[in-house]
Chain A
Amino acid sequence: MSSYFPIPPTIWIEELSLNIFGSTTFLNVPNNRLKRKIFENSHKNIIYLGLYCLKNNYWSLINVYTCRPYEFLEISRKNLNINNESMIVLVPKKKNEFPQETNNLPKPDALRIDNSPVAERSSLNFTINNNTTSYQGEYPFEMASLKKSTFLTFDILRSSLNKKVINYIIFMNILRDSSFQDDVIIEIFKPSDMKNNKKIIAKKNSYTVHKLSEIDNFNEPNVYKSNQCSFIPIMFSIDLDSKQLSVEHTHPPSELFFGSNKFKAVKILKKQWI
């Protein structure tokens, strides 16, 4: 399965008058591979990474980076003149062939050289001053190719709510088709009171950074759902005193079951909430 590597958003922290900059680190090595005793294949492929952003109705190529075997490449929003929440995404390819403008984001090449289990990942980072927090993430090609999908998550990883801590939930969406830039309604409610819901507007092919309310009831997490579009939810928190950061994505409902028939049970779970 091949993947896109998005550059996380920049988040303006009003209380500190500081930006938290998103960056992505790529390493040109297959994440997981078999060790061959004979005919060991040393990895020799140069990988080209095309950096794309949305411009009007097209994916527009900003730059192409060359990454040699075993080299790291870090792309930070700090060095790019792009809106904080606009989607910018790295597309890995084995050949330096990237269209300058395109309706369909090019298909990423896979780095894997055998069937070893792993998703192709990059390090997605958030940095304030000298403090950085990371998680190993990606946006799967299959997910970016979906025409219709649904979304369900819970903000269970928020840090304790007090005036010294701020929590954000970041909704990340990438769709290959650049014409998908419309608004998506995400409904928010408490599990115990499904009728009393709020709505926020997220965007397709974008990041939507949602600041959690300080007066919310911390003992019961919120449910976030949409029947229009899927997102990868990222929970991000900052302690204003120490500038300690925390970031993690939450599991999709499919991760709560195992087995070849698991989607039958996932369907029942989703039906309850979506």
Chain B
Amino acid sequence: MKKILKKYLPNQLIQYLFYLRNWEHNIYSLNTQININLDTNISDFFIWGKEFSKIEFVAENLRALLIGKNIEVFHILRFFSEEGEFIEEQKFSSSKFFERIKINPIKTESKYISFTHFVDSEKSLKKILEEAGLIESNDICEQNRGYTIYYPGNKNFGCSVHGNFGGISKNKFIRSKTNLKKHIYTSVYEYNKNSIYEIVFNNPTAKTISIKILFNNSKGEMILELPSLGTKFFKVKNYSGSISFESNLPICRPLLFKNPAPNFEGNFDVFHS
């Protein structure tokens, strides 16, 4: 269907029609989905934790990957407090294809906060792609995904997790949106009463959101309020079964830490639920 429409209708009109068709589930606002170009730069929303012995961030150098050789860039990590206030920026220069960045300590009382990753370079991504033959630069933008590596105890071994969808743009114009109707997300994970879990949420939208946590086996509920760019967590103990999350986010996937740091036992785990 999309292929037939593409043949006869302008691209922006097709996007508009598909946006309307999917209006209850869109992750971005219409303006965001249509008005992007190679000057736009969006990031996932990553989690930092105070109790880890070390946290590394694996940053991709998209410019180097595109030209097939090293090129100097700045990886910029911006940290936001539990309440969503900007705390600090850490800037790292690198020309490598991938840089494993050791995040500097952050002064905060909070156990978990969030950060974004953006890239600055003398030669723009637009210029690089144009030189490589890309003519049309609308409806494409850079997406900074990356990976975080958490060291729960021993500084020689960390556990990695990829970035969670954030859609936060470099100029702080937040692109993720909330929906009028609520969604219920259930992770395919069987919680076990013999383990402790910390389930961490962050809010990549411009509005305060409320997340209802539904313990499907005990019929228990609790509610977390998250300000824009804020981070909250809750602890799960002595519970077996599944947990669902109800919110105005189109998809509410928290980060889950099993037997959280500090942990030297070897039974730590981290993943997107």
Contacts and interface: CB of A to CB of B under 8 A. Distances in A.
A81 interface: no
Name the prevailing secondary structure of the B interface residues: loop
Contact of B182 (A29, A35, A157, A244): A35
A3 to B, nearest CB: 11
A255 B27 contact: no
Contacts of A82: none
B183 A116 contact: yes
B93 to A, nearest CB: 16
A272 B161 CA distance: 27
B227 interface: no
Contacts of B60: 156, 256
B273 interface: yes
Contacts of B184: 32-35
Interface stretch (A11-19, A49-57, A83-91, A246-254): A246-254
A169 to B, nearest CB: 13
A249 B147 CA distance: 10
Given A117-B25, A242-B157, A272-B66, A136 B266 contact: no
B267 A130 contact: yes
A133 B158 CA distance: 12
Contacts of B161: 248
Contacts of A176: none
A249 B139 contact: no
Residue among A32, A34, A160 with max Cβ neighbours from chain B (10 Å): A32
B246 A35 contact: yes
B58 to A, nearest CB: 5
A257 interface: yes
A30 B184 CA distance: 9
A257 B154 CA distance: 35
A131 B61 CA distance: 34
Interface residues of B, number: 71
A272 to B, nearest CB: 4
B157 A255 contact: no
Interface of B: 11, 15, 22, 24-25, 27, 36, 42, 58, 60, 62, 64-70, 96-98, 100, 129, 132-134, 136, 138-143, 145, 147, 149, 152-154, 156-162, 181-190, 216, 242, 244, 246, 250-251, 264-269, 271-273
Interface of A: 25-27, 29-35, 70, 72, 74, 114-118, 121-123, 130-136, 154, 156-157, 159-160, 162, 164-165, 191-192, 194, 220-221, 235, 237, 239, 241-246, 248-251, 253, 255-262, 264-265, 268-269, 272-273
29 contacts: A27-B186, A27-B242, A32-B251, A33-B184, A34-B24, A34-B25, A35-B183, A116-B250, A132-B269, A133-B159, A135-B272, A136-B272, A154-B97, A159-B157, A221-B97, A241-B154, A242-B157, A242-B265, A246-B157, A246-B158, A251-B145, A258-B140, A260-B139, A261-B138, A265-B129, A268-B134, A269-B66, A272-B66, A273-B65
